[in-house]
């Protein structure tokens, strides 16, 4: 077993890490697109090490992130927001609305805080699967844009804490006039985790994708932090962004910006789509907006 390791899924060692694919939809993205991801890294050496991560791929620009000291035998998560960028692929770059490319992620471990004495290097390949949901090859089977003035079947329930509200708002939208808005209950330095959910029967086609555009925040910043967001198909975890819950006054996910998450779904199956954000709150609320949810297939 390697002395250091980088994992991109929720599979625990010593089981082999499966292939990891990030799905992306080019529709309505800016001309320069940013890539963020959550990674978990391990130190199996007998001493503490200073970790650093970067990447490489044709057409991409990567940052180099110094992750700091990780003790012997420890592991932790990092959310790498806007870790890489590239020019958005054009529709002509995709064949029947799809294209794949690979990124090499490199994790390095140093014995010193100046990152000069390299001890270990570990690489992992990440696949980026681009789709164009507006391509004629795809059918839009579901579009929940909430513009009819209803929640269109979406609901919210508390997993930890309480849900204070789920309704429609017009302050942050992708297609006017409305987006879905949900808000946790309040508490003094309390953990809050809510589930926004709806059931769907997927089409009987070989490829099915859900496209989720969401925005996370808190009603006040001081003492109110976003720890993570999970995207699930029933109880199956599809995407995890952030870090496991703790009580620190630190955000672990991007806040106050729209995030697009694309996930594959099984065909001809009834599934419950679950968006599960988790917060620490101090007398105020954790919040989520969602707009233009789609299921597409071909």
Domain spans in the chain, listed from the N-terminal domain onward: 4-131, 139-297
4-131, what's its fold? Immunoglobulin-like (2.60.40)
3-state secondary structure of 80: strand
CA–CA gap between residue 69 and residue 192 (Å, rounded): 29
CA–CA gap between residue 160 and residue 191 (Å, rounded): 7
Tell me how long the chain is.
298
Residue 222 pLDDT more than 90?
Answer: no
Residue 220 pLDDT more than 90?
Answer: no
Mean pLDDT calculated for residue range 172-176: 97
Residue 167 pLDDT more than 80?
Answer: yes
For a pLDDT cut of 70, what percent of the chain falls above it? 100
Mean pLDDT calculated for residue range 152-167: 96
At residue 254 the predicted structure's pLDDT band, cuts being 50, 70 and 90, is: very high
pLDDT in the model for residue 223:
79
pLDDT in the model for residue 155:
98
CA–CA gap between residue 191 and residue 280 (Å, rounded): 5
pLDDT in the model for residue 271:
98
At residue 186 the predicted structure's pLDDT band, cuts being 50, 70 and 90, is: confident
The rounded mean pLDDT for the chain is 96
Tens digits of residue pLDDT in 90-144 = 999 999 999 999 999 999 999 999 999 999 999 999 999 999 999 999 999 999 9
The DSSP secondary structure of 181-235, one letter per residue, reads: EEEE---TTEEEEEEEEEEEE--SSS-EEEEEEEEEEES-STT-EEEEEEEEETT
pLDDT in the model for residue 21:
97
Sheet architecture: strand order including 190-201: 155-160, 190-201, 270-281, 225-233, 236-242
pLDDT in the model for residue 89:
97
Contact in structure between 41 and 107 (CB atoms under 8 Å): yes
CA–CA gap between residue 204 and residue 208 (Å, rounded): 9
DSSP 8-state code for residue 248: S
CA–CA gap between residue 63 and residue 56 (Å, rounded): 10
Contact in structure between 265 and 209 (CB atoms under 8 Å): yes
CATH class for the region spanning 139-297: mainly beta
For a pLDDT cut of 90, what percent of the chain falls above it? 94
The encoded tokens of residue 161 equal 């804490």
Mean pLDDT calculated for residue range 143-154: 98
Please give the backbone phi and psi of residue 91, each rounded to the nearest 5 degrees, phi first. Answer: -60, -30
Q: Judging by DSSP bridges, how do beta strands 118-131 and 139-144 pair with one another?
A: unpaired
Would you state the torsion angle of the CA atoms of residues 128, 196, 202, 135, taken in this order, to the nearest 10 degrees? -50
Contact in structure between 275 and 231 (CB atoms under 8 Å): yes
The DSSP secondary structure of 105-142, one letter per residue, reads: EEEEEESSTTS-SEEEEEEEEEEEEEE-TTSTT-EEEE
Q: Report the candidate in 173, 180, 129, 120 with the shortest Cα–Cα distance to residue 152.
A: 180
CA–CA gap between residue 117 and residue 132 (Å, rounded): 44
CA–CA gap between residue 125 and residue 20 (Å, rounded): 8
More confident residue, 118 or 186: 118
Mean pLDDT calculated for residue range 5-31: 96
What stretches of 29-74 adopt beta strand conformation (E)? 32-43, 49-56, 60-62, 65-70
Q: Report the candidate in 33, 34, 44, 32 with the shortest Cα–Cα distance to residue 7.
A: 44
Cβ within 8 Å of residue 247, ≥6 positions away: 189, 191, 280
Tens digits of residue pLDDT in 49-59 = 999 999 999 99
pLDDT in the model for residue 4:
98
């Amino acid at each position: 077993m390697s002395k250091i390791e980088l994992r991109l899924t929720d599979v625990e060692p010593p089981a082999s890490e499966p292939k990891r694919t990030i799905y992306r939809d080019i529709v309505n993205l800016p001309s320069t697109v940013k890539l963020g991801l959550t990674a978990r890294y391990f130190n199996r050496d007998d001493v503490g090490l200073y970790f650093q991560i970067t990447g490489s791929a044709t057409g991409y620009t990567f940052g180099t992130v110094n992750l700091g000291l990780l003790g012997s035998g420890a592991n932790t998560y990092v959310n790498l927001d806007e870790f890489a960028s590239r020019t958005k692929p054009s529709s002509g770059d995709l064949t029947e609305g799809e294209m794949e490319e690979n990124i090499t992620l490199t994790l390095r471990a140093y014995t010193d805080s100046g990152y000069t004495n390299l001890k270990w290097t570990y690489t992992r390949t990440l696949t980026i699967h681009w789709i164009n949901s507006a391509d004629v090859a795809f059918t839009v089977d579901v579009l929940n844009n909430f513009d009819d003035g209803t929640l269109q079947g979406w609901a919210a329930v508390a997993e930890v804490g309480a849900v204070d509200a789920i309704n429609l708002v017009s302050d942050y939208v992708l297609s006017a006039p409305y987006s879905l808005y949900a808000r946790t209950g309040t508490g003094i330095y309390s953990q809050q985790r809510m589930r926004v959910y709806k059931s769907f029967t997927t089409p009987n086609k070989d490829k099915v994708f859900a496209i989720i555009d969401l925005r996370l925040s808190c009603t006040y910043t001081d003492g109110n932090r976003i720890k993570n967001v999970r995207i699930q198909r029933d109880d199956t975890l599809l995407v995890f962004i952030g870090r496991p819950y703790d009580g620190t006054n630190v955000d672990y996910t991007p806040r106050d910006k729209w995030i697009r998450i694309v996930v594959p779904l099984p065909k001809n199956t009834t599934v419950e789509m679950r968006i599960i954000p988790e917060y620490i709150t101090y007398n105020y609320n954790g919040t989520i907006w969602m707009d233009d949810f789609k299921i597409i297939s071909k």
